[in-house]
Structure 1
Amino acid sequence: MPGPRAFITGASGQDGSYLAERLLADGVEVHSLTLSGEPAEFLPADVVRHQGDLTDVAATRALLADLAPDEVYNLAALSSVAASWEDPDLNASINGGAAVALLESAWQVAQVHDKQVAFVQCSSAEIFGEPSESPQSEATPLRPVNPYGAAKAYAHLMTGVYRSRGLHASSMVLYNHESPRRSPRFVTRKITSTVAAIAAGKAEEIVLGNLDARRDFGWAPDYVDAMVRAARHGQGNDYVIATGVSHSVRDFVAAAFTQAGVSDWEDRVRVDPALLRPTDPTDLRGDASRARTELGWAPTLEFPEIVKQMVETDLELQS
């Protein structure tokens, strides 16, 4: 009898590569949906890759019907908040509409094969926008303040709709989570890679936007662990995945320079008004009590160690 089969969208990114490694280690047959020409340097060779576009609903639905997976993880997204302002239509299509179409496809597989299909939607703390309370939990009202958060909120709510329809569906409200595999397009990796370049004498300054924004920074493999635990839990639910501690972007910069051995760094940081977002939540910090209680989940790395691992990797890349 064949073993379990999983389907991952967005597998070429930071989370997708860690998730694929985890599932393969568990003996799961892993299939991924990737865009043609999309770099996937960390994706294991044992992953069966299918080229396609999540917004091509008919093709993706046919693929899912053919594979009939036991677990579906939707990690695909336009993950940049800034980019969501530049193209809100595309953001809505990929982060909202395509996610809902994938939910419907998973539900159809469950119906046709009369089996449980566990669906995991990767949501974001951006659905809370400028939150009415801190820390935020699954009960915190949704009030997104940017196109990215609004599209993610739609997919988050629809995950609940499909759960009420009988699908084993979980929405993971993921707070910022980092690793050396984070793309340099993200501010955290921009910080650690540029700080490493400054320490190596290959750069003079780092240019950033809002230094006062506070975020709850976790370790990416921990958040992947939460996804798998949710898929294999007795029933689906919404889960905030966070450390419960927030740090400012300035804190991240200071920690990175300290780790790189650069003491007089303040004059090396420049704020560019062009990098400031039209709206930017001031403090996002999550309460993961439900995940701790129901899934037995807990973060394993704290903020200083996360920054340390990222800086050390970028220093090695400079040598």
Structure 2
Amino acid sequence: MKKIMNDPSQIVDEMVAGFVKTHDDLVELIPDTFAVKRKNQPDGKVALVSGGGSGHEPTHAGFVGQGMLSAAVFGQVFTSPTPDQIEAAIKGVDRGAGTLLIIKNYSGDVMNFEMAQEIAEMDDIKVEKVIVDDDIAVEDSTYTQGKRGVAGTVLVHKILGAAADQGTSLDDLKDLGEKVINNTKTIGVALTGATVPEVGKPGFTLPEDEIEYGVGIHGEPGYKREKLKTSKEMVHELLGKLKKAFDLKSGEKYGVLVNGMGGTPLMEQYVFMNDVLNELESLGVTVGFKKVGNYMTSLEMQGVSLTLIKLVDDKWIDYLEYPVVTPAW
């Protein structure tokens, strides 16, 4: 294992410290927690709180700031943050209009965020939640009952953040979030596994000439392994799954997110996106929004995920293009 670190048991502590010191113009650490909040949360607007295990950077703290998240909570590597830290984040950013929790569909995340919600509500803070389950690769896998929450979560952050910044109410944000989630689907492919620092070896291994479709962001099993394919062939496989899941039709409008898993160069991500856009054009699909980059990673895993969002409302494009001030968008 080769990693730039000091003590593996302190890697999250030191990462959080480095993140906050680097972006101290935008964010601050809530004392005695791993919760990061935006500076100058405005009064009278709904606060958005997200979070999850570390190792997926820049998710989630990279999206804290004006126009996106109000706070994000780091857990240990691939481990949900604890309820007390989530509660501290809720209290730290609530300004009277309530707080919406954006939760990825993993059993630990759902349980701990819901516990924090209950505690905050006892202190008369109005809290609602949405649960993101965009990964269509498998229905049930390690850590989850039902579909997993993956890179599509970032688009939920973006749309809801813009709507919240424009003064949308808590109940309306929850409704919007559920509609966005229902129209967002993701699937990925891995070329290598990822190594948790305190474990010291990859969570799974793939032969040099094999890939695995549908691997999760914690290294959860996918749905099949094959010999290494070209980018066009991988795109065709993944778009085939998404086309079926959406019942995709010519003339529809979608947004596209190609997300790097941490170890894939941008050169390869843009090759992949080129093939995605070419195939979508051949299907008669209009693309109203495009994004390429590392937004929800899995440590040093090589691979990509492909997210489509069906743009059923043209206002969603305005939200996706809404200007923000965050470390990572």
Q: TM over 0.5, yes or no?
A: no
From the two aligned structures, give the one with the greater strand fraction.
Answer: 2
What interval of TM-score do these two structures reach, taking the shorter chain for normalisation?
0.3 to 0.5
Q: Normalized against structure 2, the TM-score is what? A: 0.33
